[in-house]
Amino acid sequence: MSNVNEKKRRPTQVVFENVSKRFGEKQATQDVSLKVPGGSFTVIIGPSGCGKSTMLGLAAGLDEPSEGYVFVGGREVAGPTENVALLFQHYNLFPWLSACDNVAFAFRNRGMPRKEARQRAMELLANVGLEDYADKVPDELSGGMKQRVALVRAFAMQPGLLLMDEPFAALDHQTRRIMQNYLLMTWQATDATVIMVTHDLDEALHLADRLVLFSGSPGTISEIIDIDVPRPRRLDEVSLASIRQRLEAHLEKEVAYDEFTEAELAQVMGFAAQS
Ligand SMILES: Nc1ncnc2c1ncn2[C@@H]1O[C@H](COP(=O)(O)OP(=O)(O)OP(=O)(O)O)[C@@H](O)[C@H]1O
């Protein structure tokens, strides 16, 4: 495939230093320190509400830490920059532009002439099997296709850092696996650092160089697991299966049963609540 990163540059390291974030009364994260090596693929896992998306928002410059510092590429984050691309569950494509023009937009934004931008966009769409859909607008594409376009566009921006918040959560299992493979293929052809949040353990094991396990409310890091298994990975491989067990145990421990009253629990479990 064509490599969209022509320039040699130092891969973008991300550093969270004693980061706490409060939203009003709500403490989302507390004293989180994390170094994400440049060019690595880090996946953040943890129960709902433990501050995973908050971490992405801080790295993206969408929010500021209440305490501590966040550095991207050696610079303290002071707001959104072109070096950081975001990919969320909903595709964020321009609805009035074709798939080709959505991707070409990333090149045009960097000053490339229109014809060349469209040509480059076509090449990249062909890499993910969408050459026949290049002239369709997002409403004419399936969810998986839209997310492929969004992924290609995100990488076309040549970001040093790509932040992904459950990007494939809305897709069916099969499409999800295809998307994960596209993501790996595209990422491996670049020097981008990826930080992804997911609730899907298989996805995490399939993709990550490093797993960061979050816990609690407020969120803190409870464990970091490096996955030194070559890709493509078989999830039934012994070392991955044992990491999976650790992840399951972590998440089970973290499920906040105490958020439910007994009556609510009885209802969830299908028992009639005693009055
Ligand atoms: N803008 C905001 N205003 C107020 N509270 C917020 C805001 N953003 C996040 N929070 C709160 O901070 C906590 C952490 O939220 P966050 O979205 O980071 O968790 P999460 O781990 O990503 O959850 P999930 O897995 O459910 O997406 C939650 O209690 C959430 O309600």
Q: Is the pLDDT score of 217 beyond 90?
A: no
Q: What angle do CA 48, 88, 144 make, to 5 degrees?
A: 115
Q: Return the residue whose CA atom lies nearest to atom 12 of ligand 1.
A: 28
Average pLDDT over residues 199-209: 95
Task: Tell me if 152 sits within 8 A of 71, measured CB to CB.
Answer: no
Q: Give me the architecture of the 14-92+158-268 domain, per CATH.
A: 3-Layer(aba) Sandwich (3.40)
pLDDT confidence of residue 261: 55
Residue 272: pLDDT band with limits 50, 70, 90: very low
Task: Tell me if 49 sits within 8 A of 56, measured CB to CB.
Answer: no
Q: Return the residue whose CA atom lies nearest to atom 1 of ligand 1.
A: 23
Average pLDDT over residues 17-44: 96
pTM of the predicted protein model: 0.88
The length of the chain in residues reads: 275
Q: Minimum mean pLDDT among 12-16, 39-43, 165-169: which range? A: 165-169
State in Å: Cα 252 to ligand 1 middle: 20
Q: Return the residue whose CA atom lies nearest to atom 25 of ligand 1.
A: 48
Average pLDDT over residues 198-215: 95
Looking at the chain, which runs of residues are DSSP E strands?
14-23, 26-36, 41-45, 67-72, 75-76, 84-88, 161-165, 193-197, 210-215, 220-226
Whole-number Cα distances in Å, 246 to 71, 138, 174, 205, 242: 30, 40, 25, 12, 6
The interface pTM score, or ipTM, of the predicted complex is 0.97
Looking at the DSSP bridge assignments, the partners of residue 221 are: 214
What is the longest distance spanned by two Cα atoms in the chain?
71
pLDDT confidence of residue 141: 95
State in Å: Cα 64 to ligand 1 middle: 14
Q: Is 216 exposed, middle or buried (0-12, 13-18, 19+ CB in 10 A)?
A: middle
Indicate the pairing of strand 67-72 with strand 14-23. antiparallel
Q: Return the residue whose CA atom lies nearest to atom 18 of ligand 1.
A: 51
Residue 257: pLDDT band with limits 50, 70, 90: very low
Q: Quote the mean pLDDT of the chain.
A: 89
State in Å: Cα 67 to ligand 1 middle: 17
pLDDT confidence of residue 89: 80
* Mutation pick for ligand 1 pocket among 19, 21, 50, 165 (CB with most ligand atoms within 8 Å): 50
Structure tokens at 89: 């569950």
* Mutation pick for ligand 1 pocket among 53, 163, 250, 251 (CB with most ligand atoms within 8 Å): 53
pLDDT confidence of residue 267: 60
pLDDT confidence of residue 120: 95
Q: Is the pLDDT score of 30 beyond 70?
A: yes
Average pLDDT over residues 26-47: 96
Domain residues of the chain, as ranges? 14-92+158-268
The H or E element that residue 126 is part of is: helix 114-127
State in Å: Cα 249 to ligand 1 middle: 23
Residues with CB under 6 A from ligand 1: 23, 26, 28, 46, 48-54
Closest atom of ligand 1 to 21 CA is 12
State in Å: Cα 260 to ligand 1 middle: 18
State in Å: Cα 58 to ligand 1 middle: 12
Query: 109-127: per-residue pLDDT in tens?
Result: 888 999 999 999 999 999 8
The full DSSP string for 219-256 is BEEEEEEE---PSS--TTSHHHHHHHHHHHHHHHHH--
